[in-house]
């Protein structure tokens, strides 16, 4: 079945550092790919998405590119802020219908 | 607020009791998904419903768990005879159509604690 693997956390960075959170997937067909962010005590918020190979999703300074050849969708941000501290989930959506397969999540901690 | 509404936010039950979790999808959304998040883990799909129909329940435990999405009212996830292992955060998501590229919008979850 489908699966999503993302790097384990926590990832600890200083403010303004560069962020990369790796994500790879296995799926039949051509899934859509998503990054969701979860702040403490809250639900998941969609951060960005890409629906086909070579698409780049971007939002709030975060970017991720759908790489079919490496089955990856790594999340990057050039300069993180303390307010970016949260748990980040990579997810794939089946090409048939929309149930999502999630990675285990990566906690990001940004210190001033 | 037109977001996905879940209630209650926190629910405490004793072993053997029943838990009922409610989810009202976003306005205009007819597809509802339930996910469970165990501590230190990602979300696991449980069940996918449209109005009055269960489309995919492959992630639901075979016993004690059931879900419905009636023609009127919210979707309900029901857990009978709860056990300690049912303690988790349960998230509901909704989308307007059944297509892989359509993002799901999540509620804030119900945190279920079993004493």
The answer to whether A66 contacts chain B (CB < 8 Å) is no
Q: pLDDT band for A8, please (50, 70, 90 cuts).
A: confident
* A59-83 burial code (b ≥16 CB/10 A, e <16): eeebbbbbbeeebbbbbebeebeee
- What is the sign of the dihedral through the CA atoms of A34, A37, A42 and A46? negative
More confident residue, B69 or A30: B69
Q: What is the pLDDT of residue A89?
A: 95
* DSSP tag of A74: -
Instruction: Choose among A44, A86, A43, A47: nearest CA to B108.
Output: A43
Q: What are phi and psi of A84, to 5 degrees?
A: -80, -5
State the nearest Cα–Cα gap between A46 and chain B, in angstroms.
7
| Closest alpha carbon within chain B to A89 | B42
Contact A105 B107 (CB under 8 A): no
Q: Does B65 touch chain A (CB under 8 A)?
A: no
Determine whether the interchain pair A99/B99 forms a contact, defined as Cβ–Cβ distance below 8 Å: no
Minimal CA separation from B107 to chain A, in Å: 5
CB atoms within 10 A of CB B103: 18
CB-CB neighbors (< 8 A) of A21 in chain B: none
Which of B59, B103, B111 should we substitute to test contact with A (largest number of A Cβ atoms within 10 Å)? B103
Q: A-B interface: how many C-beta pairs under 8 angstroms?
A: 72
pLDDT attached to residue B104: 84
Indicate yes or no: CB of B91 within 8 angstroms of CB of A43.
yes
B99 vs A4, A98, A102: nearest CB = A98
- The predicted pLDDT at position B26 comes to 92
CB-CB contact of A2 with A97 (8 Å): no
Summarised one tens digit per residue, pLDDT across range A55-105 is 999 999 999 999 999 999 999 999 999 999 999 999 998 655 568 899 999
Please tell me the distance in Å from A11's CA to the nearest CA on chain B. 15
SS (H, E, C) chain B: CCCCEEECCEEEECCCCCEEEEEECCCCCCEEEEEEECCCCCEEEEEEEECCEEEECCCCCCCCEEEECCCCCCEEEEECCCCHHHCEEEEEEEECCCCCCCCCEECCCEEEEEC
Give pLDDT < 70 ranges for chain B. 1-2, 98-102
Q: What integer pLDDT is reported at residue B42 of this predicted model? A: 80
Cβ of B43 within 8 Å of Cβ of A44? The answer is: yes
């Amino acid at each position: 079945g489908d699966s999503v693997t993302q790097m384990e956390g926590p990832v600890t960075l200083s403010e303004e550092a560069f962020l990369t959170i790796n994500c790879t997937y296995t799926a039949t067909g051509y899934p859509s790919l998503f990054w969701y962010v979860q702040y403490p005590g809250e639900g998941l918020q969609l951060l960005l998405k890409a629906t086909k190979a070579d698409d780049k999703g971007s939002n709030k300074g975060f970017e991720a590119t759908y790489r079919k050849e490496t089955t990856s969708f790594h999340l990057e941000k050039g300069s993180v802020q303390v307010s970016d501290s949260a748990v980040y989930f990579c997810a794939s959506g089946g090409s048939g219908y929309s149930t999502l397969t999630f990675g285990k999540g990566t906690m990001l901690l940004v210190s001033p | 607020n037109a977001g996905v509404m879940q209630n209650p936010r926190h629910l405490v039950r004793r072993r053997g009791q029943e838990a009922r979790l409610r989810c009202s999808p976003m306005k205009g959304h007819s597809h509802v998904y339930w996910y469970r998040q165990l501590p230190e883990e990602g979300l696991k799909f449980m069940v996918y419903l449209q109005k009055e129909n269960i489309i995919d329940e492959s992630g639901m435990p075979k016993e004690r768990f059931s879900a419905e999405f009636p023609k009127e009212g919210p979707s309900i996830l029901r857990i009978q005879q709860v056990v300690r292992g049912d303690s988790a955060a349960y998230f509901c998501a909704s989308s307007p159509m059944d297509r892989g590229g359509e993002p799901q919008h999540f509620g804030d979850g119900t945190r279920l604690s079993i004493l």
